[in-house]
Amino acid sequence: MIKEILEIPRILREFIKSPFVFDATALRKIKLAKRILIVGCGTSYHAGLLGAIFFEELSGKPVRVVSASEASHQNLNYDLVVVVSQSGETKDVLEFLRKIKPKKIFTIGISNSKNSLLSRLADFNIYQNVGLEKSIPATKTFISQVAILLQLALMGNKKNASLHESFKKLPNLMEKILERQEKIRAVAEKYKSFDKFFILGAGFNFPVALEGALKFKEAAGILAEGMLAGELKHGPITLVDKSSASLLIMPKDLRYWENLSLLLEIKKNGGPVVAITTEGNKDLDKIIKDVIYIPKTEELLYPFLATLVLQFLAYSSGVLRGYNVDKPRNLSKAVRI
**Closest CB to ligand BG6 among 67 and 281?**
67
**Percentages helix, strand, coil for the chain, rounded to the nearest 5?**
50, 15, 35
Amino acid identity, position 100: I
| 269, 276 contact by CB (below 8 A) | no
| 50, 303 contact by CB (below 8 A) | yes
Residue 243 CA from chain centroid, whole number? 27
Amino acid identity, position 71: A
CA distances from 252 to 75, 79, 146, 183, 293 (A): 40, 37, 21, 20, 11
Show contacts with ligand BG6 in window 120-139 (CB under 6 A). Answer: 136, 138
Cα dihedral 164, 122, 45, 73 in deg (nearest 10): 140
Q: Using CB under 6 A, which of 11, 44, 107, 274 touches ligand BG6?
A: 44
Q: How far is the CB of 207 from ligand BG6 (least distance, A)?
A: 13
Q: How far is the CB of 125 from ligand BG6 (least distance, A)?
A: 14
Q: Using CB under 6 A, which of 11, 30, 38, 41 touches ligand BG6?
A: 41
Secondary structure class of 63 (helix, strand, coil):
strand
Residue 43 interacts with ligand BG6 (CB under 6 A)?
Answer: yes
Q: How far is the CB of 47 from ligand BG6 (least distance, A)?
A: 8
Phi, psi of 101 (to 5 degrees): -45, -50
Q: How far is the CB of 37 from ligand BG6 (least distance, A)?
A: 16
Q: How far is the CB of 118 from ligand BG6 (least distance, A)?
A: 8
Amino acid identity, position 288: I
Site track 136-175 with ligand BG6 (rule: CB under 6 A), x = hit: x-x-------------------------------------
Q: How many CA atoms lie within 13 A of 292 on its CB side?
A: 28
**Closest CB to ligand BG6 among 43 and 311?**
43
Q: Using CB under 6 A, which of 1, 26, 39, 42 touches ligand BG6?
A: 42
Site track 78-117 with ligand BG6 (rule: CB under 6 A), x = hit: -------xxx--x--x------------------------
Show contacts with ligand BG6 in window 215-244 (CB under 6 A). Answer: none
Number of residues that bind ligand BG6 (CB under 6 A): 14
Q: Pairing between strand 244-249 and 290-294?
A: unpaired
Footprint of ligand BG6 (CB under 6 A): 41-44, 85-87, 90, 93, 136, 138, 331, 334-335
